[in-house]
Amino acid sequence: MLSCSRCALAGLLMIAASLRAAEAPPPMDAAEIRLALEKLDVLGRVLYVAAHPDDENTGLIAYWANGALYDTAYLSLTRGDGGQNLIGPELGEQLGVIRTQELLAARRIDHGKQFFTRANDFGFSKSSAETLRIWDREKILGDAVWAIRKFRPDIIVTRFPADDDKTHGHHTASAQLAAEAFKAAADPKRFPEQLEFVRPWQATRLLWNTSPFFFRARNIPFDPTGLILLEAGGYQPLLGKSYAEIDAASRTMHKSQGFGVSIERGEQKEYFKFLEGKPVEGGDLFSGIDTTWARVPQAADLSAKIRVLVAGYDMKQPSKSVAGLLDVRKSLQKLGDDFWAKEKLAEVDVLIAACLGLHLEAVSEKLAAQPGETLALQIEAINRSPVPVKWKSLRLKSPPSTRRYPTASSSQKRRA
């Protein structure tokens, strides 16, 4: 554990992150730190749901994550094993591995998060009924419910409608499962084995992100009456990019699919159809949803502290913000087990490291090791700031992929 002379720093997570350096995003620059400081004061979440890597609307993810500053995640039910591969001979599971990495690379660019279910992309399906039979509806529904209970989105957005028979069966099934999971995630009687780890969660509303293209492709005139319009174009000066430019860069990561879009820097109209939950008011997708610290009990002082941090941020010397961040960290710790406090605490730790210019790296001569095996590691820790930091201890954390996943059968085994 590393610590500043004034208080402790979570070195553990950073060491774990550096072990996965190959997939880690590059260190934040001074402008990105400033944007991430602003994001500490925003408590809103969006989950986008579709079937395959490349189904997601990267423009919207770019806008929500970097403009509105909501935590934005894409739940791709499959990993795209059944698709084509324009850049190599890999197909099936190997293509699924490639497309998983393409999605993760896209999220590193647009700053979204990425989730999957166990649904197998078995190739083209003529109907959602066929898809759900092959997938095992309950199993994949349980995975979607798990993602919702873990991430706790305020709004859930589908890419496809639930009643379309003109598209891939996986697409329509993804919308049907999203609608079912929207309700099931809030019901403690559904998938109760998950409740050892997560709480039921009711998202405020479910929407379909539609487009004129969808209707044109079906020879139906596009009528926006009754739809909610969101202007998702715009420019983020701290990143020096419009959301459309982030969109294009993110989309280009789907290399095996030969994807890429030309950049359109002007307005970007996005349309939504309200499906379930609390109706949208005033054309605002987040109407009635509190995205401030007021949604967390006893957290009233946090917003003021964060605003002071943002106002006093020195682009030339980010390390001057470390003391303020440590103060915010203390306030978050006082909130104990609160969901948002824990989520923002992790963001604060990343920000402290970024402000210090902290470099942490663990290198091993062996590519892989099994649990119980001894592994020699060479650790490098460099503090590139004038703020004193003390090395206290080191602990290694298992990567997320090795963590236990609760299923009905594993839960029963533990109880037996």
Interface characters, 139-178, with Zn ion (x: CB under 5 A): ----------------------------------------
SS3 380: strand
Instruction: Indicate the residue among 176 and 194 with the shorter CB distance to Zn ion.
Output: 176
Which span (53-61, 139-147, 307-315, 333-341) binds Zn ion, by CB under 5 A?
A: 53-61
Instruction: Indicate the residue among 51 and 162 with the shorter CB distance to Zn ion.
Output: 51
Instruction: Indicate the residue among 55 and 102 with the shorter CB distance to Zn ion.
Output: 55
Instruction: Indicate the residue among 28 and 147 with the shorter CB distance to Zn ion.
Output: 147
Is 99 a residue that touches Zn ion (CB under 5 A)? no
Residue 99: CB minimum distance to Zn ion, A: 11
Using DSSP bridges, classify how beta strands 241-242 and 2-4 pair: parallel, antiparallel or unpaired: unpaired
Burial of 201 (0-12, 13-18, 19+ CB in 10 A): middle
Which span (55-63, 67-75, 117-125, 403-411) binds Zn ion, by CB under 5 A?
A: 55-63
Residue 100: CB minimum distance to Zn ion, A: 15
From the list 95, 130, 411, 102, the residue with the least C-alpha distance to 259 is 102
Is 55 a residue that touches Zn ion (CB under 5 A)? yes
Instruction: Indicate the residue among 14 and 178 with the shorter CB distance to Zn ion.
Output: 178
Q: Which one-letter amino acid corresponds to residue 8?
A: A
Instruction: Indicate the residue among 194 and 257 with the shorter CB distance to Zn ion.
Output: 257
Among 39, 45, 52, 107, binds Zn ion (CB under 5 A): 52
Q: What gap in Å lies between CA 41 and CA 53, rounded to an integer?
A: 31
Type and span of the H or E element at 235: strand 235-236
**Residue 16 CB partners (closer than 8 Å, separation 6+):** 396, 397, 399
Q: If binding means CB under 5 A, how many residues of this protein chain bind Zn ion?
A: 3
Residue 169: CB minimum distance to Zn ion, A: 10
Q: Of residues 260-299, which lie at the interface with Zn ion (CB under 5 A)?
A: none
Residue 164: CB minimum distance to Zn ion, A: 12
Using DSSP bridges, classify how beta strands 389-391 and 2-4 pair: parallel, antiparallel or unpaired: antiparallel
User: Which pair of structure tokens corresponds to residue 265?
Assistant: 């820097």
**C-beta of residue 97 within 8 angstroms of C-beta of residue 56:** no
Q: Of residues 32-51, which lie at the interface with Zn ion (CB under 5 A)?
A: 51
| DSSP-derived secondary structure for 260-297 | ------S--EEEEEEEEESPPBTTBTTTT---SGGGST
Q: What gap in Å lies between CA 334 and CA 319, rounded to an integer?
A: 24
Residue 51: CB minimum distance to Zn ion, A: 5
Residue 53: CB minimum distance to Zn ion, A: 8
Residue 345: CB minimum distance to Zn ion, A: 36
Is 79 a residue that touches Zn ion (CB under 5 A)? no
Using DSSP bridges, classify how beta strands 2-4 and 45-50 pair: parallel, antiparallel or unpaired: unpaired
Q: What gap in Å lies between CA 159 and CA 210, rounded to an integer?
A: 7
Residue 90: CB minimum distance to Zn ion, A: 18
Q: What gap in Å lies between CA 93 and CA 67, rounded to an integer?
A: 36
Instruction: Indicate the residue among 46 and 51 with the shorter CB distance to Zn ion.
Output: 51
Burial of 227 (0-12, 13-18, 19+ CB in 10 A): middle
Residue 103: CB minimum distance to Zn ion, A: 12
* CA atoms within 13 Å, Cβ hemisphere of 350: 22
- Residue with the shortest CB distance to Zn ion: 52
Instruction: Indicate the residue among 83 and 112 with the shorter CB distance to Zn ion.
Output: 83
Instruction: Indicate the residue among 55 and 71 with the shorter CB distance to Zn ion.
Output: 55
| Residues near Zn ion, by CB under 5 A | 51-52, 55
